[in-house]
Amino acid sequence: SQLEEHCRKVPPTQTKPLPQPPQQPNKVYNPPNYNRIINQISTNEIQGDQNLKVLPPPLPTMPLFTSNSNSTDKPSGPWKDCLQAMEDGHDTSSIYLVKPENTNRLMQVWCDQRHDPGGWTVIQRRLDGSVNFFRNWETYKLGFGNIHGEYWLGLENIYWLTNQDNYKLLITMEDWSGRKMFAEYASFRLETGERIL
């Protein structure tokens, strides 16, 4: 609400009408009906580079980042989330391999370790318009984009991440003039479609 209030007070410099996405009926997110302990091993659909073939995920013992520090004394993952990676001494913002509890799902995620206090899992990043975000429901469930640039992590991946612990949501925005705003919410999680009326 503070972010909204601030945006209302700041005079617009130049406004262009935004293109409206095609109207679709509201859909309720229904995650796969897996047994929460025994489900399929899978990875997110976000590519490291849109021009390369998608390769199988690296082995869980391989670190997915480079750092100037000596990482031989640090656990190499996968971690349950970015906070656990940071607590294990990996304080560099980069790509990490995570495996949420109660699932065999492995995900490559971007961990933001520089915004205080660190341990943030980036679920969406938009920078320059290089990725089209006008997508269908199925694509938003799976995730899309380039993890090194613009992407959406995917509703199913966010569901598995947020249902293993209590999480906050941090939204950071920067306009073309360099003005930065943020909003932090004390609680964030996705629920199954059955809980939504």
What are the boundaries of each domain within the chain?
39-66+73-168
pLDDT in tens, 27-53: 544 544 434 333 444 455 666 544 433
Percent of the chain whose pLDDT exceeds 70: 61
* Cα distances (Å, whole numbers) of residue 147 to 83, 113, 144: 18, 16, 9
Select the more confidently predicted residue: 197 or 100: 100
Residue 74: the pLDDT is 80
Instruction: Give the mean pLDDT of the chain.
Output: 76
pTM for this predicted structure? 0.65
Q: What mean pLDDT do residues 151-169 have?
A: 95
Radius of gyration of the chain (CA): 18
Say how far apart CA 101 and CA 161 lie, in whole Å: 8
Whether 176 shows a pLDDT value over 70: the answer reads yes
Residue 163: the pLDDT is 93
Residue 109: the pLDDT is 96
Q: DSSP readout, 82-139?
A: HHHHHHTT--S-EEEEE--TT----EEEEEE-SSTT--EEE-EE-SSS-S-----HHH
pLDDT in tens, 106-137: 999 999 999 889 999 999 999 999 999 999 99
pLDDT in tens, 87-104: 999 999 999 999 999 899
Residue 116: the pLDDT is 86
Q: What is the CATH number of domain 39-66+73-168?
A: 3.90.215.10
Beta bridge partners of 95: 110
Say how far apart CA 147 and CA 70 lie, in whole Å: 25
pLDDT band at residue 178, thresholds of 50, 70 and 90? very high
Q: What mean pLDDT do residues 154-178 have?
A: 94
Say how far apart CA 68 and CA 30 lie, in whole Å: 42
